[in-house]
Structure 1
Amino acid sequence: MATVEHVVPVAEGVDLWVEERGDPAAPVVLLVMGANASGLTWPEELVDRLARRYRVVRYDHRDTGRSSRAFDERPYALRDLAGDAVRVLDALGVERAHVVGMSMGGVLVQLLLLDAPQRLRSATVFATAALGAGLADTTGAGELPGPAPELLQLWQELGAERDEDAELAWRVEHWRVLNGPDAPFDPEEFRELERRVAAHSGTWRSPTAHALADPSGLERGAELAAVGVPVLVVEAPADPVNPPPHARHLAEVVGSARLVTVPGMGHALPRSVLGPLADALEEHVDAVEAGDRPVASAGPYRDVSSGPRTFVPVEEVAGALRPLGDGKADELRRTLDEHVDTDVEDPFERHAALERGGLGDEGDEGDEAAAPEPPHHRAR
């Protein structure tokens, strides 16, 4: 299938490497990778499978892969990387996309849900933590578990000077720990991945800029309750970075989220988890494209949501109560207050209305954005 590469300017002196694959007329799936990781970290097998049905876009964050390495001269905050994702969509002429984020990429997707919801048709996040939790907890006051001690020890060695063989060995060991104990780990699979990333990047030097970037502005977890874009949270039960119950916590604080789990998955993407993960992604995207609510599946992953949320318009509740006597009505009102959200409209219906143009996007009036500079591109 056709693959096209672009160079997209996102800030003064900062260009991003961007790749798209698949039918240009298909729904767009934007893949957002984690900290200090090139877009090539997304496995080719996963990208190829998704590209059979969607227009798949992946890119190198600043200071990774073939993108500009300018942190020393132009420091930035982690939150700025979320804006980069929007600029990638602008450069490719994409109005809305299904956005998928892993690890720090999942944190960036949450920022997009808050700051640019009109650009997201859906969101999927995994191996990540809610804003204000885990590694996004900049106050240190959170109660959720942190990364495994073995991993913290390895991170102390990030960016150390090593020759090529030693660097490759360190990266494979890092992936072994990230993979967790449950999913099969093939060292050669990850050696090959890192050789591709190094060849793509033109260096074996480990990126470290994101570990040094300003983390402020990530303490926004309370705002996620108002999200109306359909969100899928994929739990990685063996994740040593964001272990359970991080995924469930995230699904509970997001107003429109559904939770599924891929058994055995950790903080890596070995071949053994790609099938179940792709199944979950495709089901979510296809349901949103069809205008349906995503439902539980009998696939190789498990839907572990606590149950579907019930959204009841206030008018319907009032009409249902009228025929009852005062005592029964009061009792039912108390029950509804405890178990049913009578004030919030169905987020999936609101999102469908946005897709139909039936609801205006807040903040659009009078907001004249400059036309993005067109990307340079080449096919390969």
Structure 2
Amino acid sequence: MERFIDAAPGVRLWTEDRGATDTSPLLLIMGAQAPGLGWPDGLVDMLTPHHRVIRYDHRDTGRSTWAFDRRPYPLGQLAEDALAVLDGLDVERAHVVGMSLGGMLAQLLIADHPDRLLSATLIGTSALSTVPYIHPDGTRIPPEELPGIAPRLLEMWSRPVVDLGLEAELERRVEHWRILGGDQLPFDAEYARSLERKAVEHTGHYTTSTAHGRADASDLNRTEQLARASVPTLVTSAPAEPVFPPPHPQHLAQAIQGARIIEIPGMGHALPPEVHTPLVAAILDHTTGR
């Protein structure tokens, strides 16, 4: 079922609610600039037999309100939007699964609203914490000295996005996914293109939003709150991750009290079909014990 939820005056969020209503809710939080359809249908279909699965468009993505230039907001507001989705669907508590920026927003929920979460799964993200990473050999590494984003990706992000028509934009996005996917799994360009074409059709245009990259991110540090977290948390580690490569996941698992970590073989910063089965198995083991 699709519906719009009012998150704030003048801000409506598109949501999709799938699966049996008598199962526990699971909220999928996508990354920056990505609509809810960034969670592929195949992956969602594997979750719906076990959960009431909710995905939604962040503001300034998909069918939700695009208004950053008129009403800018801090990046943390997107975590409050996630709560607005739960409130609008009459969900008191939910499992949350966050990817990339979505994983950061999930950390804000762990820190600020633990009473609303049944569990959290964090994918392809970094810790909102200043504690050092402790290497197995005992070396303490400050977060700012952990490995950075792959140069190929930084170079692509540095290029201005020029409107050369829909097909050219789809090709640009496919190449973006090629880099994000890493180098350990085969890349299916047609699969990536079909996902992006569906996202464009869902949105109604192919404009690329830059709102989340421009939003104020100065108030995201949750070091102390994460260190005493009470929400059961799973961190996934992706060996081919080009945005937050290992040991970012290991650092994240150390920063959140009680968190455990699992590796998804071959995974990068993307959700191709090859990772759906192991990723869903990890999520369901965490949320249901299956």
| 2:78 paired residue number | 81
Query: Residue type matched to 2:108 in 1?
Result: L
Q: CA deviation at 1:30?
A: 0.3
- Which of 189, 193, 196 is equivalent to 1:194? 196
SS at match of 1:47: helix
SS at match of 2:6: strand
Please tell me whether Structure 1 or Structure 2 has the larger radius of gyration of its CA atoms. 1
Match of 1:41 in 2: 38
Equivalence for 2:137: none
Deviates more, 1:208-217 or 1:29-38: 208-217
Aligned residue among 1, 6, 10 for 1:9:
6
Q: Aligned residue for 1:217?
A: 219
1:60 is aligned with what amino acid?
A: D
SS of residue matched to 2:106: helix
What root-mean-square deviation, in Å, do the aligned CA atoms of Structure 1 and Structure 2 show?
A: 1.4
CA distance in 2, matches of 1:227, 1:102: 19
C-alpha distance in 2 between matches for 1:266 and 1:141: 20
CA gap of 1:101–1:158, structure 2 versus 1, over 3 A, is farther
Give the structure 2 partner of residue 296 of structure 1.
none
In the TM superposition, residue 165 of structure 1 has moved relative to its aligned partner by 1.4
Q: Find the counterpart in structure 2 of residue 99 from structure 1.
A: 96
Distance 1:158 1:108, change over 3 A: farther
Match 1:121 to one of 109, 115, 118: 118
Q: Post-superposition shift, 1:146?
A: 1.2
- Alpha-carbon separation, structure 2, partners of 1:244 and 1:228: 24
Which whole-Å deviations, capped at 9, do the CAs of 1:49-99 have from their partners, x for residues lacking one?
101111000000000000000001100111000000001001101000000
Aligned to 1:233: 235
Number of matched pairs: 279
User: Structure 1 pair 158/252, CA: closer, same or farther in 2 (3 Å)?
Assistant: farther
Distance 2:164 2:68 in 1: 21
- Residue equivalent to 1:318: none
CA contact (8 A) 2:129 2:255 kept: no
Q: Which amino acid aligns with 2:214?
A: L
Which of 65, 74, 82 pairs up with 1:68? 65
Q: Which residue of 1 aligns with 2:19?
A: 22
Q: Please say if 1:251 is aligned against 2:232.
A: no
Matches of 1:76 and 1:219 in 2, distance apart?
17
For residues 323-338 of structure 1, what are the structure 2 equivalents within 5 Å? none
Matched with 1:52 is: 49
Structure 1 residue 157: deviation in Å?
2.7
Q: Which amino acid aligns with 1:258?
A: R
User: What is the TM-score normalised by the length of structure 1?
Assistant: 0.72
Query: Displacement, 1:256?
Result: 1.7
Question: Cα offset for 1:166?
Answer: 1.2
Q: Does the CA-based 8 Å contact 1:159-1:207 persist in structure 2?
A: no
Q: Structure 2 CA distance, aligned partners of 1:253 and 1:129?
A: 10
Gaps of 5+ in 2: 131-141
Percent of residue pairs bearing the same amino acid type:
53
Which ranges in structure 1 are unaligned for 5 or more consecutive residues?
Answer: 134-139, 291-380
> After alignment, is 141-150 or 11-20 more displaced?
141-150
> For residue 280 of structure 1, what is the amino acid of its counterpart?
A
SS at 1:142's partner residue? Answer: helix
Aligned-pair CA distance for 1:160: 3.1
